[in-house]
Structure 1
Amino acid sequence: MENLLSLSFDYLSSFDGVKIRKGLRQLEGLLAQICLSRTTTAAERRRSTAIDGVAKSSPKDLASLSEDPAFREFFKLQEGFEWNVAIRLISCLERLLGKGSNGQNDLLLVSTLDLLRGVLLIHPPSRSLFAREIYMNLLLDLLEPSSCPAVQSSAVLTLVTALLEQPSITRCFESLDGLLTVTSLFKNRGTSREVKLKLVEFLYFYLMPEIPYAGRDAANAHGGPHRSPSKASRLGSGGRERPEGAEGTKTTNEKQSLLGRYLNNVEDLVEDLKETAPFGTNFG
């Protein structure tokens, strides 16, 4: 696995778009081997091959994934700087962003962001990279009006993944005027409808009660990512009170006040969030 990672990192460090694409595909192949499983029976393989010409793959069950030797090896390698995939993808984003906007470069940006999102999901500790201002600013730069809609949409989704269960990174996002960046793009007349929908979804996500990630120790103890409970009932009355042990978090009311500096009718968003209760969130 180290040899494959080393080879893909060499390609990603290039300024040649063809080599970068090759490096991205190698990493995608590695993650596919770890996270997907081939159909097992001969009948299933023949049936899927007859229909599509290839044997289909399906996602592995999350519970079994953490027990998979290949996944455990990959997760362990991500704990060190030398083999961390996220930092390499972020560096690749920096180089691509410096090359300006054109069709091929935009495709590489989207592919890099998509892959980064997957890595952040299967190795949550890598999200801590975005607590550094230089890397958070990189995501915000991708949300500039000059970026193409596909890049903007992918950057919004990557931002959500970076902030997921990471209140300290959310505070970094706020301190760098991230809310101003997001709302300015939303109010820009040139922003596409698809991107605006993604931004509204982001605002709903931002306003939700915060549940901190359990941390490195829990991940190591289980040999993989720790899954926090999906319901926010552990946070008491949703947006109004900060529970014991949740230092560094903000309530929905506090975030509503911050967002209200840049956007009107935030109260309507909060009311809608309470009514729809996504992911079973209890706002009390």
Structure 2
Amino acid sequence: MKLLLNHLNINVETKLIINTIPTLISCLVKNVPNLRKFELLKGPEMICKLLKYKPTGSNEINDWKLVQVKIIEFLFFYLVPESSHDKKERVVYKDGCERYNMEQKVNILKEYLNNNVIEGLVNELKESKPFGSMNNEW
């Protein structure tokens, strides 16, 4: 996980960032222990910093748009609930990991992103349902 996260910074070539994000998703999908490790290692903060980065050169601006698209795709994935529970109390499963609903994930992202950005992502995710009904149990 640390190796992948090392590639999520503005000093890394954009093509490497673009290829790292889908790899990261593959490591996280339905793998709650990896998701919690990603969060522990400040992964959400790194992703959000990349989204907010403002490149200066014209070539860099064009390349960076592709990075931002991958980041938006990642954030859609990240916001998918790991459980259909909507309770306020912690829900811990056999693997010892708590499952987060969408509201809990929104609260994590609120530390790093503007509320309007997060609301837009959540609304689009709920309307378009790119991952289906989202009644998941990971």
TM-score normalized with structure 2 length: 0.79
Task: Pick from 272, 278, 282 the counterpart of residue 124 of structure 2.
Answer: 272
Alignment-mate amino acid for residue 208 of structure 1: V
**Equivalence for 1:177:** 42
**Higher helix proportion, which one?**
1
Shift in Å at residue 180 of structure 1? 1.0
Distance 2:109 2:8 in 1: 17
Shift in Å at residue 280 of structure 1? 1.3
Equivalent residues in 2 for 1:1-150, closer than 5 Å: 136-150=1-15
Shift in Å at residue 244 of structure 1? 8.2
Distance 1:280 1:197 in 2: 20
**Greater RCO (Cα-Cα under 8 Å, separation 6 or more):** 2
Structure 1 runs of 4+ aligned residues shifted over 2 Å read 240-247
Distance 1:254 1:194 in 2: 28
User: 8 Å contact 1:142–1:151 — kept in the other structure?
Assistant: yes
Mark the runs of 5 or more structure 2 residues left unpaired by the alignment.
Answer: 56-60
Mark the runs of 5 or more structure 1 residues left unpaired by the alignment.
Answer: 1-135, 211-234
**Equivalence for 1:281:** 133
Distance 1:172 1:259 in 2: 16
User: 8 Å contact 1:163–1:169 — kept in the other structure?
Assistant: yes
Q: Is 1:195 aligned to residue 67 of structure 2?
A: yes
CA shift digits 1:93-136 (9 cap, x unpaired): xxxxxxxxxxxxxxxxxxxxxxxxxxxxxxxxxxxxxxxxxxx1
**Equivalence for 1:209:** 81
User: 8 Å contact 1:168–1:249 — kept in the other structure?
Assistant: no
Task: Pick from 258, 275, 279 the counterpart of residue 108 of structure 2.
Answer: 258
1:171–1:245 distance in 2 versus 1, CA, 3 Å: closer
Alignment-mate amino acid for residue 121 of structure 2: L
Rg larger for: 1
1:245–1:276 distance in 2 versus 1, CA, 3 Å: same
CA RMSD for the aligned pairs?
2.0
**Equivalence for 2:84:** 236
Percent identity reads 34
Shift in Å at residue 245 of structure 1? 4.6
Alignment-mate amino acid for residue 102 of structure 2: T
User: 8 Å contact 2:79–2:122 — kept in the other structure?
Assistant: yes
Distance 1:145 1:152 in 2: 9
* Alignment length (residue pairs): 122
SS at match of 1:180: helix
